[in-house]
Structure 1
Amino acid sequence: MMEEFPLELSSQVEKGRYANLPRPSDGNERAFILGYEECTPDYTIERNEFPFWTLEFVVGGHGFYREGAQVRELRFGDVYTYGPGVPQYFGNDQDRPFRKYFLVRSGQVYPDLWREAGLTPGRLYPLGNPTSVVPIFDQLLDQGQRSDAHTSKIVSSLEEVLMALIARHLGLSQGDRSRSRKVYELSLQILQREYKSLHTLADLAERSGYTSEYLCRIFKKYHGESPYQVLLHRKMSAAWLLLHDGQLQVGAVGHELGYEDPLHFSRVFRKVMGCAPSSVMSNQSDTP
C-alpha cells in the first residue's frame, strides 16, 4: 500500500489490502483506488453521498443494505455501486462481518462501463455463484500495486473483464425464466412486502400458493438459505433500523414486527444479529 491515500479509509476494518494509483490528469476516467477489507463486527456505513463512484463486492459475511425505502440482505456474491448524490446505509451482522473488495473511480458522471454491465447506482445485485469474479479483483490489486508505466492500462483492461463477467452473471440470473425461478421471485416479493405479518414458513406457503417443501427447495437453489431464514433476517434487519432510529422501545419494535413476547423477540434478535436489541439503542443514544 502506498503511504498516502486521497480518501480517508474506514476505521471499522480489521485487515485491509489496498492499491492507490495516480489520479488521471489526461481527462480519462478510470479506477484509482482498489481494495480488499475484512470488517469489524460493528461495521456500518451511513452517509448522504460519497465524492467518487465506488463499486463494492461482498465475498463473505452477512448484513443489510438499504435500497431506497427497502432494506435488503447483503451477502456473498452481492455487488452495489454508489457515489455523488447517492445515500448509503449498509452494515454487517456482528457475528458475520464482511469481507469485500472495492474499486473507486474518478469522474463525477456514473461510469458508462458500469451502466453497460447492467449496474445502477444505489441498487443491490446478487451475482449468483460469482467465483470467477474473485480472481479478477485479486489481479486488480496485484497489478495496481506494481506502479509502473503499464499499470493504468492493465488495471483498465482488467476492469473491463470484471464488468463483462458481472454482465454475464446478471444476464444469466435475469435470463432464467423457468417456472421455479418465477415462483422464487414471486415468493420473495411476498416475503419482502408482507414480512411484518408473516410468522412461519406455512404463512408464506399459504400466501404464495405453493407447498413449504417446494419453497424450501427453490430458496435453497436461488438464495442459498431457507425461506424462514430469509424471513428472520428481513424482520431483524428492519428491527435494527427501528432500534437505531431510537423512536420505539424494544417491546414496541418487537410488536411492530409481529412478536407479542418481548423476550422472544430479544432472543431471536440476538441470535440473528449477534447482539441484544438494547445495545443498538444504547449505541445510538451515545452517538453525538
Structure 2
Amino acid sequence: MKEFSPETSAPEPGAEPTFVSQQVSGARRYYLDLNPAPQSALTVVCGGVERMTPEYMVSRTQFPFYGIEMVTEGAGKLELDGNTFSLQPGVVFAYGPRTHHRIWTDSVHTMRKYYIDIAGRQTKRRLTDAGLLDSKPLRVIALHEFVEIFESLDREARSDSEWTPDVCRSLAELLMLKIRQRRVGEGQAISRAYDTYRRVRDEIEENYMELRTAEDVAAKCDLSPIHVSRLFKRFGGVGAYQFLLRKKMNHAAELLIEERLLVKEVADRLGFSDAFQFSRAFKRVYGIPPKELTKVRSAMRASVSDD
C-alpha cells in the first residue's frame, strides 16, 4: 500500500531533496528544516517511513546530515565503511556526512524502515553516546517502543505549531536515549524468549494469509497459545492476533487501493466469512470502514494535486 501523505514544510511537488530515494512502493515523509542553522544544538531536518521496492539500493559517499534508520519489516544488507552487515527487524544504524554507506533490500522480503535526519553541534556526541557511530549497526529489543517514537515524530512534525521544532527535537533525543537503553551489546546474548518471539513474528509476517487466529499461529510454531500471548505482551506491545490482523488489513488496504477490488472480494480473498466481519476488523485497525478508504485516499491525492 502506498503511504504518501500530505507533508509538513515539504518541498514543492516533484522537488524532493536529491538524497531521498524514489525506489519505494510507499513512503510517508515530513520535512522540518532542510537548511538548519550551523549553531543549533540539535535540529530535526526530516524523516519518515519507507517501504522498499525489490530493486531498492542506495549508495552514498557524502550525505548532508546525520541519519538514523531502523528496520521494522523484511530483510536486507548494509555496508558501512567497507564492512557488510545483515539487516532485519530491530536493527538500527546511523551514518554521518562523511560515512560511506550502501543499503539494499532483499528482493523477496522487502524492507520497511523508519528514518530521521538530524543536524547540529550536539548531534555527533549524542549519536556516539548511543553507540551509533562505530561503523556497525546495533540491534534493539522492544521494537514497538521505537515505532511509537517514530510515529510520534511523524505526527508532531505535521502539527505546524511554534512548538513543533522543540517537540521533535525532544523526541529525537528520546529516540537516542531509548537506543542506549534497549540495545543489545556486542557479546551479549539475546534471550531465548526473544528469539522465540522473533521466530513467531517471522512466521506471521511470511504466512499471514494462511493464518486466521492466534491459536493457528501457536500451532504452526509448536507453542501453546498462552506462551505466544506472553511473548507478544513482553516484546511486541500488541497481542499476536492484533499483529496478525494488522498484517492482513495492510494487505487488504493494498487490494482496495492498488487493485481496486470490491470489499466483498477482499473479504473472500482474506478468508473472512462475510463482508460485514471483514469491515468490522478493518475498522478496528484503521478507524474507518473499508468503503471509506478510497474516498479518503482520493481526497488526499486531490489535495496534494491542488497544492
Question: Structure 2 length as normaliser, TM-score?
Answer: 0.54
Q: Which moved more, 1:1-10 or 1:40-49?
A: 1-10
1:25 pairs with 2:37: yes
SS at match of 1:118: coil
- Counterpart of 1:102 in structure 2 is 115
Q: Find the partner of 2:181 among 149, 168, 171.
A: 168
Q: Distance in 2 between matches of 1:49 and 1:106?
A: 14
Q: Distance in 1 between matches of 2:134 and 2:186?
A: 22
- Counterpart of 1:190 in structure 2 is none
Per-residue CA deviations over 1:165-212 (Å, capped at 9, x if unaligned) read 111012xx22985xxx39x9xxxxxxxxxxxxxxxxxxxxxxxxxxxx
SS at match of 2:144: coil
Per-residue CA deviations over 1:227-270 (Å, capped at 9, x if unaligned) read xxxxxxxxxxxxxxxxxxxxxxxxxxxxxxxxxxxxxxxxxxxx
SS at match of 1:76: coil
Identity of aligned residues (%): 25
Per-residue CA deviations over 1:37-67 (Å, capped at 9, x if unaligned) read 1111111111222121111111111011124
- Counterpart of 1:231 in structure 2 is none
SS at match of 1:111: helix
Q: Which moved more, 1:127-136 or 1:152-161?
A: 127-136
1:10 pairs with 2:12: no
Question: Structure 1 length as normaliser, TM-score?
Answer: 0.58
- Counterpart of 2:70 in structure 1 is 57
Q: How does 1:245-264 map to 2 (within 5 A)?
A: none
Q: Find the partner of 1:38 among 33, 47, 51.
A: 51
Query: Deviation at 1:134?
Result: 0.5
Per-residue CA deviations over 1:16-54 (Å, capped at 9, x if unaligned) read 111111343372131110111111111111122212111
- In 2 relative to 1, CA 26–174 (structure 1 residues): closer, same or farther, beyond 3 Å? closer
- Counterpart of 1:83 in structure 2 is 96
Q: How does 1:185-204 map to 2 (within 5 A)?
A: none
- In 2 relative to 1, CA 218–70 (structure 1 residues): closer, same or farther, beyond 3 Å? farther
Give every structure 1 segment of 4 or more consecutive aligned residues whose post-TM-superposition deviation is greater than 3 Å.
23-26, 67-70, 107-110, 217-225
The 8 Å contact of residues 80 and 121 in structure 1, kept in 2 or not, is answered as: no
Q: Distance in 2 between matches of 1:69 and 1:112?
A: 23
Query: Deviation at 1:222?
Result: 9.7
Q: Distance in 2 between matches of 1:54 and 1:84?
A: 9
